[in-house]
Amino acid sequence: MKKILMTAMLIMAMVLVVTLSSQDVTYVGSAKCKMCHKSEKQGEQFPQWEARKHSKSFAALSTDAAKELAADAPDNPKCLKCHAPLAEKNAELKEEGVGCEACHGPGSAYKKMTIMKDHAQAVANGLIDYKSEDDIKKQCLTCHEGAHDKPFDFAAAWEKVKHPIPEK
């Protein structure tokens, strides 16, 4: 009887792992994050993002300066790679620029409140969890290293954009 129960539990665990690993995750957009991440209790991450350059990075491609670098900047894949990194994944997210999911991963599987309340569960469902500032820096450098021949001071930039959840 014990053997049968153990076998059944093992099969159920395997089915669960296969089901979770085969989930199609999608990018849902920063507006979905806004619902919870606009409050003071959550650190007001969404209003901070909205006020900063990352949320306006796609719009920057329509400036005269951008057009001097590439006449087709708003449609140029080389420009979009950093100014609207999710455009290729979900065209509807192009205008949000560098949204939440550009750094934190596709949110469809972790956006639910019940999942987000448990950090480990959110990570298990795809939320990218940076273990150190070096990991964050590595992510930032994917776009900022040598961008437009401008120097990048990670420490100064991180001070401007970090958005932690306040300690409870």
pTM score above 0.95: no
CA torsion sign for 126, 127, 133, 138 is positive
Exposure on the CB side of residue 156, measured as CA atoms within 13 A: 4
Task: Report pLDDT for 24.
Answer: 86
| Per-domain boundaries in the chain | 26-161
Task: Report pLDDT for 60.
Answer: 97
CA torsion sign for 110, 112, 116, 120 is negative
CA torsion sign for 63, 81, 23, 7 is negative
Q: Which segments of the chain have a pLDDT < 70?
A: 1-23, 168
Q: Residue 3 — φ and ψ, nearest 5°?
A: -65, -40
- List C-alpha distances in Å: 47 to 52, 105, 162: 9, 19, 13
Which pair of structure tokens corresponds to residue 92?
């509807």
Cα–Cα distance for residue pair 83/66, rounded to 1 Å? 11
Task: Report pLDDT for 34.
Answer: 95
